[in-house]
Amino acid sequence: MAETSTEGTGTIEALSLVPKAEGRQSMKDFKSDQEVRWCPGCGDYAVLAAVQGFMPELGLAKENIVFVSGIGCSSRFPYYMNTYGMHSIHGRAPAIATGLATSRRDLSVWVVTGDGDALSIGGNHLIHALRRNVNLKILLFNNRIYGLTKGQYSPTSEVGKITKSTPMGSLDAPFNPVSLAIGAEASFVARTVDSDRKHLTEVLRQAAAHPGTALVEIYQNCNIFNDGAFEVLKDRQQAEEAVIRLEHGEPIRFGHGKTKGVVRDRATGDLKVVTVTPENEAEILVHDARSASPTTAFALSRLADPDTLHHTPIGVFRSVDRPVYDTQMADQLDTAVEQHGKGDLAALLAGGDTWTVIG
Amino acid sequence: MTSQVSSPAEQADGAVVGEQRKAAGAKDVRRLDRVIIRFAGDSGDGMQLTGDRFTSETASFGNDLSTLPNFPAEIRAPAGTLPGVSSFQLHFADHDILTPGDAPNVLVAMNPAALKANVADLPRGAEIIVNTDEFTKRAMQKVGYDSSPLEDGSLDGYSLHPVPLTTLTVEALKEFDLTRKEAERSKNMFALGLLSWMYHRPTEGTEKFLRSKFARKPDIAEANIAAFRAGWNFGETTEDFAVSYEVAPAAKAFPPGTYRNISGNLALAYGLIAASRQADLPLFLGSYPITPASDILHELSRHKNFGVRTFQAEDEIAGIGAALGAAFGGSLAVTTTSGPGVALKSETIGLAVSLELPLLIVDIQRGGPSTGLPTKTEQADLLQAMYGRNGEAPVPVVAPRTPADCFDAALEAARIALAYRTPVFLLSDGYLANGSEPWRIPELDELPDLAVQFAQGPNHTLDDGTEVFWPYKRDPRTLARPWAVPGTPGLEHRIGGIEKQDGTGNISYDPANHDFMVRTRQAKVDGIDVPDLEVDDPHGAKTLVLGWGSTYGPITAAVRRLRAAGESVAQAHLRHLNPFPGNLGEVVRRYDKVVVPEMNLGQLATLIRAKYLVDATSYNQVNGMPFKAEQLATALKEAIDG
């Protein structure tokens, strides 16, 4: 994580219209008075603490921060943030947040969603928010299971998953949310893990600074219905071999002693994992999150094995500048006023062919 | 273009009109009190444009008018076929009129299909102008004419004018550097010129319109103007058209003021912009294209200099979702759609009911169910608007009665939404949307004050003396909750679709609280201040005809006919469908018979019967077209006598 949040136009453009807090803020300022009702041991607690802990760093007036969620366990999130918030309906949070963000550029708008909410019922809204590049920060809690409805397979569950609704194993091929987001023209795509507070916070920092839609997939453990789903990424020993930490400008190496690396297969152009040797060391791919082309970021997202999660990259896959929808909409309004003057209702109503009747 | 009309005798050309006179060309001029013209052709023939232009000419001349565009859902249906026929009917008069008319006095048929599809609607003696060039054997066979109707006597009894419109148009444009096909396209302007001569319409507006429409192609503009003038001159010179007609301006029908012609969708769009100004809130439209509502999206997207934000969403659900998000942020939020879109939006409407935020849901009703008849009219979404949601989710419903009334209805829907913090249905329909009529342009100081006050600070004191903000603490009079928009310090709060505790708005699963909240949301809507229903009953009738929405024109026309024939009938028309006016129960109980004509299978009648235990009789039509006055008059007469 070599990137700093203030590089480029980041912080300045993404949050420049949002008023700053007057005094110093602390984590406590962002805790609402509501009792948190997730299951004990749920990964959501860690994400909530990380977000509440990170918010003071932004230094924004908290009345100008809004959390919008859909339906699902993670979507209870807004109730626990002492900001403005809306717990809406299943899958629609990106659409609702789009209307809010485009009409109120002085707000910092966050969407909290899950794998079912964002990728099943709300899949359409997610991809369209990403392609439009509305100034939204979308936190997608992926636990690879339906929790609130008590344990059916989700669109990110591995094939063959045995659940209440799939006693003989699920048949659906899962979505890879990072691949999907990159395919949907997302300008910022990252992945992190609930239990790695430091990494999670750094990803949030970069997402907050990004002008446009930022999608952050957070691998989150559901200890009731899918416990240990990401254990391979969390267990210190296994994680060393399983997790590929992406850092912009750094060679993509991982494993014990950084002995493994990602190179481009000359025959296919695809990426593959190799054991680093003095001969191939120069070929190790240097991560470029700012590459205009999404091709390599997409290839990185395909490295992970969907069943075992081996070779799972985490960090910022892609972070590029693209025109921001709400900025452009505001620009069009300004241009219209420049071209036609501020709207004159009397003139509008009396437009076209008219005639006068005298009494 | 502005013209002044002060009395019927003073015409645009300044001449005083007698019953009959000789015009410059020594042709007879007859005076009529009203005329119904129908232009009909292939969907690519430009009949809607022709009708629109004739309407504009007629409006600027000062007649009262009412229009009925009727077109297929296909953009270009197969040429020359019956399903491909597009028509535009215009009724204009020297007095006030209410409908586009039952039966055309004049039919302009651009091809055999247009003749075949429309001739049955004509009364004997009607004038038929046909484009003979299109009456080839093949074209006639395509629509099932074995012999030429122009020659086999089947049109005896009509006044037939065979005109080779295509040939004459091509001939008139031979000086222009156009292919034959390009020249032929102007034949609708030739027809418009001919009709404009026949009815003494002013022509400057059309010429100006053509120059502006084809500003980038001046040659095409001039060719169309040449065809238009050639049509006029053809009428003036040819023997076949021996008579032209005058319909005096309807000066007495209109109160003093400045008027324009306006369609329902345009009036509705203007009403929304006006509501935004009167509320001093930015307008936000979230919408997905759907017939016949898209024109509102198109229109509003042209007025960004009024601070109007239009968002063409990925689907109907996102359209209303974005609007609801904007409402949370303090915009006057609107979503526009038709019946199938309402079905998709239902869950979000329920959320808006629960969040108690202002939101306008504009439903331009069309024939259903499912895709139904996208370009035809119907009133069959009333019960969907009333009840089409899970749970007890009351939503106020407002319906405009005429195209111009869409302006006022939009303001009224906004008033209710803003004052009571609730989603509101505005139920227009395809007939109002595309139909048009003269509209007296209001002065801005006539518009209602829709000012809203956002919550600014704490509104509740806890037992320990702490000042807090409660998002669900209600105004005791309106039962509206405070509207606290993000950006207001100290009022941070969370709302959602889960049941809320009264006052605090916190999640609550308490049974008694849910019962209370359900009843309170209902009481809020039931308590909305709506004016009493006015009843028009000059003779103390025993039968009441009760309508809502776009049936106003045909019902009123039918009532006039009956009264002119010496019958007694009372009439009332509902703008507010939810809540009903407070006096409605007393009104319907006052009459021996209550007849409810609707373009559905009796949805208002069902509500009236359920709520007031009155034996209201339904009279229904669901053929995609508005009622005809004559048909309604007959039905009402039977009810009166029955």
State which residues of chain B have pLDDT below 50: 1-21, 23
- Domain containing residue B620: 535-641
**Do B265 and B247 share a structural domain?**
no
For residue B12, what pLDDT is reported? 30
The CB-based long-range contact list for A7-10 (8 Å cut-off, 24+ gap) reads A8/A321, A9/A211, A9/A321, A10/A206, A10/A209, A10/A210, A10/A211
Residues 6 or more apart whose CB falls under 8 angstroms from that of B634 comprise none
A28 touches chain B (CB under 8 A): no
* Residue of A73, A103, A117 best to disrupt the B interface, most CBs of B under 10 A: A103
Compute CA B358 distance to the chain's CA centroid, rounded to the nearest angstrom.
24
For residue B17, what pLDDT is reported? 37
Question: What is the band of A125 on the pLDDT scale with cuts at 50, 70, 90?
Answer: very high
**Do B134 and B54 share a structural domain?**
yes
- Residue A317, classed as helix, strand or coil, is strand
**Do B286 and B188 share a structural domain?**
no
| pTM of structure | 0.93
Give the residues across from B333 on adjacent strands. Answer: B284
Rounded to an integer, what distance in angstroms lies between the CA atom of residue A132 and that of residue A329? 11
Please check the confidence at residue A92 and state whether its pLDDT lies above 80: yes
Peptide bond into B292 cis (omega under 30): yes
- In this prediction the ipTM stands at 0.96
For residue A5, what pLDDT is reported? 38
**Do B210 and B289 share a structural domain?**
no
Structure tokens at B86: 């597009």
Distance from CA of A356 to the nearest CA of B (A): 4
For residue B16, what pLDDT is reported? 32
Contact between residue B337 and residue B290 where contact means Cβ atoms under 8 Å apart: yes
DSSP A94-115: HHHHHHHHHH-TTSEEEEEEEH
In one-letter notation, the amino acid at residue B483 is W
Helix (H) or strand (E) holding B114: helix B112-118
Is domain A10-245+290-349 in CATH 3.40.50.970, yes or no? Answer: yes
Rounded to an integer, what distance in angstroms lies between the CA atom of residue B446 and that of residue B449? 9
Structure tokens at B205: 């507006």
What does pLDDT average to over chain A? 94
| Residue of chain A whose alpha carbon sits nearest to that of B253 | A357
**Do B379 and B244 share a structural domain?**
no
Which chain A residues have a beta carbon less than 8 Å from that of B4?
A: 355-356, 358
Distance from CA of B401 to the nearest CA of A (A): 20
Cβ of A125 within 8 Å of Cβ of B321? The answer is yes
Peptide bond into B579 cis (omega under 30): yes
In a domain, B583, yes or no: yes
**Do B31 and B151 share a structural domain?**
yes
**Do B175 and B80 share a structural domain?**
yes
Residue B371 has phi, psi (to 5 degrees) of: -65, -35
- Residue B363, classed as helix, strand or coil, is strand
Residue B543's domain is classified under what CATH number?
3.40.50.920
* Largest CA-CA distance found in chain B, in angstroms, rounded: 96
For residue B25, what pLDDT is reported? 53
| Residue of chain A whose alpha carbon sits nearest to that of B1 | A353
Query: Domain tally for chain B?
Result: 3
Please check the confidence at residue A358 and state whether its pLDDT lies above 60: yes
pLDDT in tens, B574-606: 999 999 999 999 999 999 999 999 999 999 999
Residues 6 or more apart whose CB falls under 8 angstroms from that of A195 comprise A43, A46, A221, A234
pLDDT in tens, A258-316: 999 999 999 999 999 999 999 999 999 999 999 999 999 999 999 999 999 999 999 99
For residue B388, what pLDDT is reported? 97
Cβ of A99 within 8 Å of Cβ of B323? The answer is yes
Cβ of B62 within 8 Å of Cβ of A354? The answer is no
For residue B43, what pLDDT is reported? 87
For residue A13, what pLDDT is reported? 64
For residue B252, what pLDDT is reported? 84
Structure tokens at B279: 């509320």
Residues 6 or more apart whose CB falls under 8 angstroms from that of B166 comprise B131, B133, B134, B184, B187
Please check the confidence at residue A247 and state whether its pLDDT lies above 90: yes
Contact between residue B385 and residue B427 where contact means Cβ atoms under 8 Å apart: yes
For residue B27, what pLDDT is reported? 83
Question: What is the band of A118 on the pLDDT scale with cuts at 50, 70, 90?
Answer: very high
For residue B2, what pLDDT is reported? 41
A350 touches chain B (CB under 8 A): yes
Distance from CA of A282 to the nearest CA of B (A): 45
The domains of chain A are located at 10-245+290-349, 251-286
**Do B333 and B206 share a structural domain?**
no
**Do B310 and B434 share a structural domain?**
yes
Rounded to an integer, what distance in angstroms lies between the CA atom of residue A299 and that of residue A319? 15
Of B330, B421, B506, the C-alpha closest to A63 is B330
Give the residues across from B243 on adjacent strands. Answer: B28
Please check the confidence at residue A7 and state whether its pLDDT lies above 60: no
Residue B434's domain is classified under what CATH number?
3.40.50.970
Note which residues in 283-342 of chain A have CB less than 8 A from chain B: 329, 332-333, 335-337, 339-342
A211 touches chain B (CB under 8 A): no
Of B71, B41, B67, B42, the C-alpha closest to B54 is B67
| Residue of chain B whose alpha carbon sits nearest to that of A348 | B270
**Do B148 and B267 share a structural domain?**
no
In a domain, B116, yes or no: yes
Considering only residues A4 and A125, tell me which one the structure prediction assigns the higher pLDDT: A125
Give the residues across from B535 on adjacent strands. Answer: B572
Percent of chain A with pLDDT over 90: 93
Cβ of A102 within 8 Å of Cβ of B326? The answer is yes
